Amino acid sequence: MKIVETVKQIREEVARARKEGKKVGFVPTMGYLHEGHASLIQRAKAENEFVVVSIFVNPTQFGVGEDFETYPRDLERDSEIAEQAGANIIFHPTVGEMYPLGYRTYVDVEGITSKLCGASRPGHFRGVTTIVSKLFHMVKADRAYFGQKDAQQVAVIQQMVRDLNMDIEIVPCPIVREADGLAMSSRNTYLNPSERQAALILSQSLFEAQGMIDHGEHDAGKLGFWIKENIQTEPLAKIDYVEIVDAVTLEEIEEIKGDVLIALAVRIGKTRLIDNIRLEV
Ligand code: AMP
């Protein structure tokens, strides 16, 4: 497995693979890889002969006071995990390579980017859609793999691909969890032992909510209220949002019916965690 740092190199490597008739799968990440990322790479490898993994902590998707500087980075460990999972190449550009002096162009998806995470992280999705567009132009993959862990990101990217007629298939992949239910995240490394325990309130609330729906609860208002109350029983938890929405439009719903997304963002100490479940009711 190769690691390249420039746009020129990644273009050449992908062009060579294409010339050999290979389908190209792409997994964009910010690194500090875990089994969630590995599952995306494995899926990409199962469906494409050539798999590109990008590792880039993208400054434009971090707000002021967020964790851009402290975001965990470990390229050596990442390359082992990526190679093991089936990656053919890692694209690991510098910030200067992606945003050279005089950079001026941004991609903005309207509406669905201002809700949920977009409400508490203004500008976040503008950074995401900009970097993903740039990467799509560089990598020219047939398919790109995204985790349902970031459910809003999937919806926003799908909207962008539709709206801008991008010739790429977006493949959403299921959330990979720790044995006790916590959704895997590079940010889980920020948690101390008591916070790690407290963080279980996210998945536990979602699983119980799912059970209540299975037992016939269809009132989104009631269920949302119950989830909030339940999260508040954990002293270390501070709710950012709890939303029950249509999984495609992210519009709030009153009745739990159709393609439903229950999404939450909760601060455990200083760490902001997100989790969700998507259900067909
Ligand atoms: P990140 O490095 O956090 O930007 O994530 C890169 C990709 O991995 C995104 O598409 C995420 O949704 C996905 N991902 C992160 N955590 C998980 C997880 N626990 N399960 C599945 N996919 C994940």
- Please, what CATH class does the domain formed by 2-173 belong to? alpha beta
Q: Which fold has domain 186-275?
A: Pantoate--beta-alanine Ligase; Chain: A,domain 2 (3.30.1300)
| CATH 3.40.50.620 segments of the chain | 2-173
Confidence of residue 240 (pLDDT cuts 50, 70, 90): very high
pLDDT of residue 279: 96
What is the CA angle 33-34-40, rounded to 5? 85
| CATH 3.30.1300.10 segments of the chain | 186-275
Q: Would the CB of 127 count as within 6 Å of ligand 1?
A: no
Q: Using alpha carbons only, how large is the chain's radius of gyration in Å? A: 19
Q: How far is ligand 1, taken at its centre, from the CA of residue 85, in Å?
A: 14
pTM of the prediction?
0.98
Question: For ligand 1, what atom is nearest to the CA of residue 185?
Answer: 16
| 259-268 vs 24-29, strand pairing mode | unpaired
Find the Cα–Cα–Cα–Cα dihedral 42, 44, 45, 47, rounded to 10°: 120
Q: Would the CB of 212 count as within 6 Å of ligand 1?
A: no
Q: Would the CB of 36 count as within 6 Å of ligand 1?
A: yes
Catalytic hit among 37, 92, 124, 137: 37
Confidence of residue 52 (pLDDT cuts 50, 70, 90): very high
37 is catalytic: yes
Taking the CA atoms of 158, 161, 165 and 168 in sequence, report the sign of the dihedral they define.
Answer: negative
**Percent with pLDDT over 90 in the chain:** 100
Question: For ligand 1, what atom is nearest to the CA of residue 145?
Answer: 10
Sheet containing 143-147: give its strands across. Answer: 2-4, 89-91, 50-55, 24-29, 143-147, 169-173
pLDDT of residue 102: 98
